[in-house]
Every structure is written in structure tokens, then in C-alpha cells.
Amino acid sequence: MAGFRMSWRNAPTGGAQLLSGVAVCTVIAGLSMLMALSVPALPAVLTALVAGTMFAHRNDVSYLTPGADFTIRTILRIGIALIGVRFSVEQISELGISAVAIAAGGVGLMLSAGTLVAMAFGLPRSRSLLSAGAVGICGASAALAISTVLPHREAQERQTATTVALVTVLSTAAMLLYPLVGSVLSFGPLQAGIFFGSAIHDVTQVAGAGAMISNDAATAAIATKLVRVACLAPVVAAIAMVGARYATSSYRGATPPPVPFFLVGFGLVAAAANLGLLSDTLRHFLSETATFCLVAATAALGIKTSPRRILADGWRPLAAMLAQTLLLAAYAIGCILFLAY
């Protein structure tokens, strides 16, 4: 190990550092995605975050920092843009206006009441907004996207890594528990699908929960979830233009960045996919590429964040995100029962 550490210290600078850092992040991402195929209950983003953190804990990774920064800054944005390929107008239109309203309303609830809930646990407004967006929109993907447009702070990467870890764990727990909740409430396949799509954070776990019930439930769950995914671009754009300034108003000199170009890419990719300009094979490839980019960025966050720094956040982030998760679930159940689907 000592020789390994020495080789990193004596490594060349410049482009070699950049390429080495990107290479390590992509290798971790690839292995994490392969592991997720073998163990579906183990999300790739969580595996990549833990692997990157452990790698950094055991080795001198200062040599990898330029590549990790590039992965977080550039590769992540490419992945977010490619997420647009998952948006399907056809699937959403089959849900009906009520289901669309439930899903979109949940996003609005999290960005408003959910943010206040996190602040009640003592989290800063920017951190609360990050947590609320992750819970309300699409889990780790939303957390990573929102973090790119918040004004950069010293603790931002640690907070993003913690948020990704917590939202992934809670989403996996929801995947396992919510089918039981739906059974207790006597939800049919459509009701269960709308519940899962409106209340579970990550797309993969939404699909997994639906598959535990039936193909119809899985289809409804994914379609409902796509409504929340569609909210990603406008929400991130709004945060970039207005929300970042409000969320960090306690800090002097904080200036929200302009609307990022990767959101334009998101819209263009979504438009191309829905206009039939992309084949099914290409759409699947771009979707997998988006996942790979997000997992690689998560690995980069792990490399730049030590376990001690993550644990230093204490119990408040977990308690806040758990409260947000329960609030979203209660909202979705209430809407479904009220509308008598």
C-alpha cells in the first residue's frame, strides 16, 4: 500500500491527473452497475458512493482530484441532459389528469412544505432545498442536478454526498415497504402504481416496487414517476435563477448562476425521444449512459468526501429526510383515497 501511495504522489500533473481521476470514477461506476445487476436491491449509486469513499479513506487521492472535479462538473451534466430520453409524453398521457396532478402536486409539496420541514430540523435553507428536491423529484439524480446550480460552498460536496446516500437508502426501504402498505390499504394495480410513482424517490426503486405487484402496477408506477422526472428541468432552472439566491440569503455575496445549458440539453433530448427521432435501441443506450454518468459522479463525490465528514452531519439530515419521505407518502395516499381510484 505504501508503494501505491508513493506512486500517486510522484505521478505527473496536468492531463494525466485528469484522465486518472476520470478513469477511477468510471471503473467504480462500471463495477457498481454490474453489482446492481447481480443484486438489484443494492442500488448502483449507493455502491459507488461507498466504494469511492472507502477508496479515498485508504489511499492518498489528491492526485485524483482534478478528474473527480471534472466528473462532478462535466460528466454529471451530460448525464442529467441524457435523462431527458426517459421522459415519455405517451406514457404520461395514459395516466389521466388526476394522476398527473397527484405526482406534480407532490413535487410542489416537497419544494414548499418539505423544505420547511427540513429547516425545522435545523438544516440551512440551501441544504433543506437540496433534500426536498431529492425526495420530491427523482432521488439521487435530482440531488446531483440541484447541487450543480446552488452557489458553491465549502461543505456542498459533503452535503450532496450525504443527501445521495440517505435518499437512496430511504428509496430502497420504500421499495420494500410500500407494497405492504398498498396491500393493507387494498390498493389495486393502478392505485398501487400511482402510489409508488408519487412517493418513492428513485426510478429504479419505483419500477421494483411496481414489479412486486403486477405488470400493470409497474407500468402505472413508471408513468407516474415520469411526471416527477419531467419536473426536474424546470425546477432546477427555477433554482438557478431565483431559488439559489433565496436559499442562501444568509450568506453574503451568494449569487445564483445562470440557467445551465445542460437543462437545454435535457429538453432537446426529451423532444427528440418523443418525436420518434431516436430508435428504441438508441433510447435504451442513452438511458444507460445517463445512469452511468450519474453513478460515476456519485463515485467522484465519494472520492472527495471522507466517511468522518459524512458522519459529522449527525442525525438531523436523516431525520429531516425521513420526515419529508413520510409526508410525501401520506400526501400520495390521501390523494388516492380522496379521489377513490
Question: What are the tens digits of pLDDT across the range 126-137?
Answer: 899 999 999 999
| Residue 155 pLDDT > 80 | no
Which of 42, 230, 257 minimizes the C-alpha distance to 151?
A: 257
Q: Give the tens place of pLDDT for each residue, 240-297.
A: 876 545 544 444 444 444 556 788 888 899 999 999 999 999 999 999 999 999 899 9
Average pLDDT of the segment spanning 59-68: 84
pTM, to two decimals: 0.76
Per-residue pLDDT, averaged over 314-338, amounts to 94
DSSP secondary structure of 12-75: --THHHHHHHHHHHHHHHHHHHHHHHH-TTS-HHHHHHHHHHHHHHHS--GGGHHHHHHIIIII
Give the pLDDT confidence score for residue 259 in this predicted structure: 53
pLDDT at residue 203 in the model: 84
Q: What is the residue-averaged pLDDT of the chain?
A: 85
**pLDDT tens per residue, range 177-206:** 999 999 999 999 999 999 999 999 988 789
